[in-house]
Structure 1
Amino acid sequence: MKSLPSARRRFNPAYAAFLLVAFLYGIAGALQTPTLSLFLTTEVKVRPLWVGLFFTVNAVVGIVVSFLLAKRSDRQGDRRKLIILCCTMAVANSLLFAWVRSYAVLISAGVFLAALANTGIPQIFALAREYADRSAREVVMFSAVMRAQLSLAWVIGPPLSFTLALNYGFTVMYLIAATVFVSAVVLVATLLPSMPRNAESVNPVQAARAFGDRDVKILFVASMLMWTCNTMYIIDMPLYITSVLGLPERLAGLLMGTAAGLEIPAMILAGHYAKRFGKRPMMLFAVGAGILFYGGLVLFKFQLALLVLQLFNAIFIGIIAGIGMLYFQELMPGQPGGATTLFTNSISTGIILAGILQGLLAETLGHEAVYWLAFLLAIVAWWLCGRVREA
C-alpha cells in the first residue's frame, strides 16, 4: 500500500513538463534548421553567398537579443512569461517561413523573430535551474536529462525534416513546426512553475562582477573554441567523406545519427559522475576526447574508423553540452538566465567563426586542413579549461 504514495511523491509533474517542453522545443528546431540552406536555395532562390550571410546575421542578432533578454530576466519579472513570449514568436516565425519567399523579409523580420524564439531554450534551462534549487532537487542530473531531450530531438528531427520537406514541401514542414511550438506554449502556460522575482533580488554590482569574472571569460573562449571545432566538422564532414575520401553520401547521416544517439548516455553519465569528480575534471576529460576525435579524423580515413571515432565525438559533445552550461551557472551564482545565455552565445559565436574558417580553409588548403585546425583548437580549449577554477 505504501508503494503507490511513494511513486506519486517521486513523480513530479513540473519536472515531467520541463522534459517534455525541452523535447518539443528541440524537435521543432531540429525540423527547421537542417533544411534551412536548402530552403533558401530552392524556395527563396538565392546564391550561396546570401545563404551564408543569412546564417551569419541570424547568429549575430540572436546573440544580441538573447543577451539583453537574459540580463533583464535575471533581475525582475516572471521567467515563465518570457518563455511563453519566446514560444509565441517561434510560432510566428514558423508561419512566416511557411508562407513568405522574400529574402528581405526573412532576413529582417524572420531573423528578429528567430532571435526571440531561440532565447526560449536558455530561459527554459534557467527556470529549471531555479526550480531545482528551490525544491532542493538534484540539479546536475536533472539538467543532464533535459539536455538529453535535445539530443533525442536531434536524432529524430533532421531525417524527419528532410522527409517532410522533400516529399510534402516546406510549407507543410514549417506548419508542423508551428504546431509543435503551439503545444509547447500550452505546456509552459499550464504546467511549468511560475517564479517571479523583484528587481532587488539580484545585486547589480555582483552581477556586473560575475559577467566580468576572469574565469567566466576564459570559459567562454574555451567553450567558443569547442563549438567552433564541432561546427566546422558538421559543415565540412559530408563534403570531406564524399569528395576526398570517396565514401557514400549516406555515411554522413549515419555518422551524425550515431554521434547523436551516443550523446544521450554520455550526457546522463556525465550528470551522474559530475558531483563525484567535479565539473572542471569532467570538462578536461571531454575536451581530451575531442582532441582524440579530431586527431583521429586526420589519421584514419576508412568507414569503420570514422564510426568508432563517433564514440569520442559523443563524449566530447555530450559532456560539454550539459556540464558546460552548469559550469557557467555555478561561476555566476544568482544569474541562471545570464549564465545559460552566455553558454548558448558561446555556441552561436563558435558557429559564426566556424563558418568563416571552414570556407576559407576548404577553398584554399583543402578539407584536411579543417580537421588539423579543429585538432589544434581543441588543444587550446583543453589548456584554457585547465585555467578555469572549479565551481
Structure 2
Amino acid sequence: MSILNSVLRRQPDLTSSAFLVIAFLTGIAGALQLPTLSLFLSTEVKVNPLMVGLYYTGSAVIGIVVSQMLATRSDKQGDRKRLILHCCILGALGCVLYAWNRNYFILLIVGVILSSFGSTANPQLFALAREHADRTGREAAMFSSVMRAQISLSWVIGPPVAFALALGFGFPVMYLSAAVVFLLCGALVTFLLPSMPKSALKTDTTLASPRQNRHDTLLLFFACTAMWTCNGVYLITMPLYVVNALGLSEKLAGIMMGTAAGLEIPVMLIAGYVAKRVGKRFLMRIAVGAGLLFYVGLVLFSAEWALLALQLLNAVFIGILAGIGMLYFQDLMPGQAGTATTLFTNTTRVGWIISGSLAGIVAQFWGYHAVFFISLLMSVGAAYCMWKIKNV
C-alpha cells in the first residue's frame, strides 16, 4: 500500500500523467501489430515459413540500425519531443501501408523502415521522461518503473484485441486501428509533453564523461542481451516443450505466460520503489540470480505445479530486467539518455535474433529440454558480466 501511495504522490501533474498515458498507447500500438504479424504474412501476404523468418530477422536488424541512428542524433541536437512526434506519424503511415499493401518486398523494405521509426517512439519517450524527471527532481527509478508497467499492461490488453480485430473484421481494420493509436499519441505528445531542445555545445561537453564507463556499458550490453536471449528461447520453446515433450495441456502454456506477465508488474513497481535504497546493480544481480534459479528449475522439474511456481522467479528475472536495466544504462551513460535507452531496447532485438536461431537448432538436434541447458549456461555468462560491472 505504501508503494501505491508513493506512486500517487509522485504522479500528480498533467505532464507526468501524459507520459504514462502515452507509454500505454505506444505499447498498445505495438501490441496490435506484432502478435498477429506471422499470421498476416502467411495468410494475407501468402509467403512460406522461411520468408516469415527472414522478415523477422530483417525487421530486427533494420530496427536496430534505425533506432540507434535516431538515438545518437537525438542526444546531440534537436528536440526529442519533435522526434517522438515524427516517429508517431511515420508509424501511422507504416500501419496504413500494412493495411492495404500485400507485396512482400515492399513490406520488408518500406514497411519495416516505417515500423522501425514507429517503434523508436517508445525508447525516445523513456529518454525524454528521464530528462524530465532529472530536471524536475522526480525520482527517476520509480517514475520509469511505473511507465514500464504501462507497457506490460498494454501487452495484457493488446494481443487479444489484435486477434479479435484481425479475425473478426480483417487485417485492414486492425492496422488502421493501430494507425489511429499512433496519431492519438502524436496529438498527446504535441500538446502535453515538455520541450527540451539541446544545443550542440552543451551536448559535446556532457558526452565527454561517459567514455570512462564504456567497459561497464559493454558488459551490461552483453549481460542484458544474454538475459533477453534466454527469455526469447524460453518463450519460443516452452509451449512446444509443455505440449510435445511433457504431454501436458496446451492451456498450461498460456497460464504460465499469463502468470509471469501478471507478476511482472508488481515486481517492476517494487524494484523502482527500492532502487534508490539498494542500488541498481544489486537489483540486476537479483534478476540474474532469479534467472539462474529459474532455468535450473526448468532443467530439474517437469511437474505442472513446479512449472507454475517457477513463474515467480521468471517474473523477478524479467520484471527487474525490463524496469531497471534501462535505468542502469542511463546511469552509465550520463547525458546520453536517448542512446542509452535505445541501446537497452536493442539488447532485446539482438536477443530475439539469437534466440530464434538458437532455439530451433538446439531443439532440432538435441530436443526441447536441451534448450534450457543452453539458457542456463547463458545465464551464467550474464551473471559473470553483472559481477564485473562497478556500482552506480
TM-score calculated relative to the size of structure 1: 0.95
Distance 2:10 2:230 in 1: 43
Q: Any unmatched runs of 5+ in structure 2?
A: 1-7
Distance 2:385 2:338 in 1: 24
One-letter amino acid matched to 1:145: V
Question: Aligned pair 1:389/2:372, yes or no?
Answer: no
Match of 1:235 in 2: 236
One-letter amino acid matched to 2:277: R
Residue identity over aligned pairs, in percent, reads 56
Match of 2:37 in 1: 36
One-letter amino acid matched to 2:265: I
Match of 1:248 in 2: 249
CA contact (8 A) 2:123 2:341 kept: yes
Distance 1:9 1:154 in 2: 24
CA offsets, 1:280-299, max 9 Å, x none?
11100011111111121122
Shifted more, 13-22 versus 248-257: the winner is 248-257
CA contact (8 A) 2:210 2:332 kept: no
Shifted more, 332-341 versus 361-370: the winner is 361-370
CA contact (8 A) 1:211 1:332 kept: no
CA contact (8 A) 1:232 1:358 kept: yes
Distance 1:304 1:121 in 2: 36
Question: Structure 1 residues 343 and 207, CA, compared in 2 at 3 Å: closer, same or farther?
Answer: farther
Q: CA deviation at 1:167?
A: 2.4
CA contact (8 A) 1:78 1:197 kept: yes
Where do 1:126-165 residues align within 5 Å?
A: 126-165=127-166
Match of 2:52 in 1: 51
CA contact (8 A) 1:74 1:202 kept: yes
Distance 1:78 1:279 in 2: 29
Match of 1:297 in 2: 298
One-letter amino acid matched to 1:299: L
Question: Structure 1 residues 205 and 380, CA, compared in 2 at 3 Å: closer, same or farther?
Answer: same
Question: Structure 1 residues 46 and 19, CA, compared in 2 at 3 Å: closer, same or farther?
Answer: same
CA offsets, 1:76-119, max 9 Å, x none?
10100000011111111111111111111110101111111111
Q: CA deviation at 1:32?
A: 0.9
Match of 1:169 in 2: 170
Question: Structure 1 residues 191 and 366, CA, compared in 2 at 3 Å: closer, same or farther?
Answer: same
One-letter amino acid matched to 1:119: T
Match of 1:195 in 2: 196
One-letter amino acid matched to 1:165: A
Question: Structure 1 residues 9 and 384, CA, compared in 2 at 3 Å: closer, same or farther?
Answer: closer
SS at match of 1:44: coil
Question: Structure 1 residues 8 and 385, CA, compared in 2 at 3 Å: closer, same or farther?
Answer: closer
Q: Number of residue pairs matched?
A: 385
Q: CA deviation at 1:203?
A: 2.0
Distance 2:217 2:10 in 1: 38
Q: CA deviation at 1:211?
A: 9.0
Distance 2:385 2:11 in 1: 40
One-letter amino acid matched to 1:108: I
Match of 2:313 in 1: 312
Distance 1:149 1:243 in 2: 34
CA contact (8 A) 2:35 2:162 kept: yes
Distance 2:57 2:114 in 1: 15
Distance 1:256 1:80 in 2: 35
Distance 1:298 1:283 in 2: 23
Distance 1:42 1:300 in 2: 38
Match of 2:336 in 1: 335
Q: CA deviation at 1:10?
A: 6.2
SS at match of 1:67: helix
Where do 1:55-70 residues align within 5 Å?
A: 55-70=56-71
One-letter amino acid matched to 1:301: S
Q: CA deviation at 1:8?
A: 10
CA contact (8 A) 1:332 1:339 kept: yes
Q: CA deviation at 1:205?
A: 8.6
Distance 1:167 1:308 in 2: 35
CA offsets, 1:274-314, max 9 Å, x none?
11111111100011111111121122222222111111111
One-letter amino acid matched to 1:214: H
Distance 2:300 2:269 in 1: 30
Question: Structure 1 residues 331 and 138, CA, compared in 2 at 3 Å: closer, same or farther?
Answer: same
Where do 1:276-295 residues align within 5 Å?
A: 276-295=277-296
Q: CA deviation at 1:234?
A: 1.1
Match of 2:4 in 1: none
RMSD across aligned positions (CA): 1.7
Match of 1:4 in 2: none
Distance 1:362 1:246 in 2: 16
Distance 2:183 2:243 in 1: 39
Question: Structure 1 residues 232 and 200, CA, compared in 2 at 3 Å: closer, same or farther?
Answer: same
SS at match of 2:310: helix
CA contact (8 A) 2:219 2:385 kept: yes
Q: CA deviation at 1:182?
A: 1.4
